[in-house]
């Protein structure tokens, strides 16, 4: 599945079968893949392994970006438990599934570590709510990373149950507030938006943000206030940032710090890094045509998401794990034939190069043996021709 998925850059089983190019009827290959995708527990097993491997790259201050997302299928009619979703990229309602992706990265960096990718439908039997799904993602990652990292969530994370879950488990977080949340300041309740007007903007920066029209500069100011959530004793900090729009950006964080520029900039830069990680979500959807998924069983759908996660982890992490694999990754991006060179966010080039090599070097071979010698590592004969 991993070979065929990367060779075809497509989640449709017929395309994966063509990428494998086995010496049997395509229908037989597709039936076998479909049968194995029905295996119970496959997704959870992959999630545990990827979380364990990815956690090795998560340090104390590594950002763990949790992003609830959507998977819209424009033409699906018979797929199980289709539900109404809001297409975040187009701002439209449509049919599809909800999902959640989690990616680790260092503050200000562009190198990503895919940690989780799951799908669910609110119309499926036994569905207990989106909050339970997001909390399950956080629990899987925090257990693997032994509570290291700082969890960063956009305004979709401004929920009472998520704050309680993160605080009860001793996890650090940066969450953007919607603005209407009640916070306690100096023992008195205030609406967050009104409280922001009382914040002293002690620091200023000029930053550049990538947009569809190109890079755009922003003159921002930021400051912080010590606050608490009603009914909680944990000290929190409200970081207020102006300069991105008419309304200030409100970040609620449990990350300890001082009023110094360096301490507050860690919070501001940490959240802004989440914007860069949106590139990773687009990469996953576009490089493997995730929104063109066509499976008629709910278990197969959830298992396919886990297989896609494993493919993305291979491309973005495994190839750069050692010096030899780093050289291999550079050669793969060169094979991708980029028109304007390889950009800093090079994962599209990696996916294109892997597909090109897999298709050029022949079809999938389950095992390579040499008479009188031990089995060769599968990656060595594949690229032996240079």
Question: Distances from the Cα of 193 to the Cαs of 14, 17, 18, 180, 242, in angstroms?
Answer: 52, 54, 55, 7, 12
What pLDDT is stored for residue 358 in this prediction?
Answer: 77
Separation between Cα atoms, residue 366 and residue 206, nearest integer Å = 54
What pLDDT is stored for residue 347 in this prediction?
Answer: 66
Q: What are phi and psi of 158, to 5 degrees?
A: -80, 75
Print burial letters for 203-228: b (CB count within 10 Å at least 16), e (below 16): beeeeeeeeeeeeeeeebbbbbbebb
Please check the confidence at residue 11 and state whether its pLDDT lies above 80. yes
**Percent of the chain whose pLDDT exceeds 70:** 82
Please check the confidence at residue 157 and state whether its pLDDT lies above 90. yes
Q: Which residues contact 84 (CB under 8 A, 6 or more apart)?
A: 93, 94, 95
Please check the confidence at residue 107 and state whether its pLDDT lies above 90. no
What pLDDT is stored for residue 223 in this prediction?
Answer: 94
Please check the confidence at residue 292 and state whether its pLDDT lies above 60. yes
Separation between Cα atoms, residue 3 and residue 6, nearest integer Å = 5
Both structure tokens of 361: 């070097």
SS (H, E, C) 270-312: HHHHHHHHHHHHHHHHHHCCHHHCCCCCHHHHHHHHHHHHHHH
Angle at the Cα of 73 from the Cα atoms of 67 and 76, rounded to 5 degrees: 145
Tens-place pLDDT, residues 217-265: 788 999 999 999 999 999 999 999 998 888 999 999 999 777 888 899 9
Multiple choice CATH, 56-288, 3.90.350.10, 3.30.429.10, 3.10.450.50, 3.30.710.10? 3.90.350.10
Tens-place pLDDT, residues 75-87: 778 899 998 888 7
Average pLDDT of the chain is 84
Both structure tokens of 87: 């297409």
Task: Name which residue leads in pLDDT, 95 or 341.
Answer: 95
Say which DSSP state 228 is in: B
Both structure tokens of 330: 């550079």
Please check the confidence at residue 384 and state whether its pLDDT lies above 50. no
What pLDDT is stored for residue 282 in this prediction?
Answer: 81
What pLDDT is stored for residue 348 in this prediction?
Answer: 67
Give this prediction's pTM: 0.84
Q: What are phi and psi of 343, to 5 degrees?
A: -75, 175
Tens-place pLDDT, residues 130-140: 999 999 999 99
Print burial letters for 151-184: b (CB count within 10 Å at least 16), e (below 16): bbbbebbbbeebbebbbeeebbbbbbbebebebb
Domain boundaries, the chain: 56-288, 323-386
């Amino acid at each position: 599945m991993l070979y065929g998925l990367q060779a075809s850059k497509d989640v449709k089983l017929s395309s994966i079968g063509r990428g494998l190019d086995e010496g049997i009827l395509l229908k037989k290959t597709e039936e076998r893949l479909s049968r194995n995708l029905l295996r119970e527990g496959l997704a959870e097993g992959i999630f545990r392994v990827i979380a364990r491997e990815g956690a090795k790259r998560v340090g104390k201050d590594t950002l763990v970006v949790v992003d609830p997302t959507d998977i819209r299928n424009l033409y699906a009619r018979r797929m199980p438990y289709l539900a109404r979703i809001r297409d975040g990229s187009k701002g439209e309602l449509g049919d599809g599934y909800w999902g959640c992706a989690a990616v680790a990265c260092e503050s200000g960096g562009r190198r990503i570590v895919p940690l989780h990718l799951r799908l669910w439908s609110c119309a499926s039997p036994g569905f207990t709510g989106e909050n339970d799904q997001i909390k399950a993602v956080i629990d899987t990652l925090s257990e693997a990373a032994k509570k290291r990292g700082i969890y960063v969530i956009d305004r979709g994370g401004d929920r009472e149950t998520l704050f309680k879950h993160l605080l009860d488990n001793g996890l650090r977080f940066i969450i953007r507030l919607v603005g209407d949340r009640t916070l306690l300041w100096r023992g008195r309740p205030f609406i967050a938006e009104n409280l922001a007007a009382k914040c002293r903007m002690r620091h200023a920066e000029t930053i550049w943000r990538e947009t569809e029209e190109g890079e755009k500069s922003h003159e921002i100011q930021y400051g912080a206030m010590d606050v608490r959530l009603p009914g909680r004793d944990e000290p929190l900090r409200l970081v207020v940032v102006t300069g991105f729009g008419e309304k200030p950006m409100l970040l609620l964080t449990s990350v300890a710090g001082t009023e110094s520029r360096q301490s507050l900039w860690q919070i501001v830069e940490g959240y802004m890094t989440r914007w860069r990680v949106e590139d990773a979500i687009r990469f996953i959807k576009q490089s493997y045509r995730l929104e063109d998924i066509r499976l008629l069983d709910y278990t197969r759908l959830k298992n396919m998401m886990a297989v896609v996660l494993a493919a993305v982890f291979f491309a973005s992490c495994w190839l750069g794990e050692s010096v030899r694999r780093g050289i291999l990754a550079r050669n793969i991006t060169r094979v991708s034939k980029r028109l304007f060179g390889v950009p800093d966010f090079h994962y599209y080039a990696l996916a294109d190069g892997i597909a090109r090599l897999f298709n050029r070097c022949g079809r999938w071979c389950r095992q390579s043996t040499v008479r009188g010698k031990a089995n060769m590592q599968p990656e060595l004969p594949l690229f032996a021709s240079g």
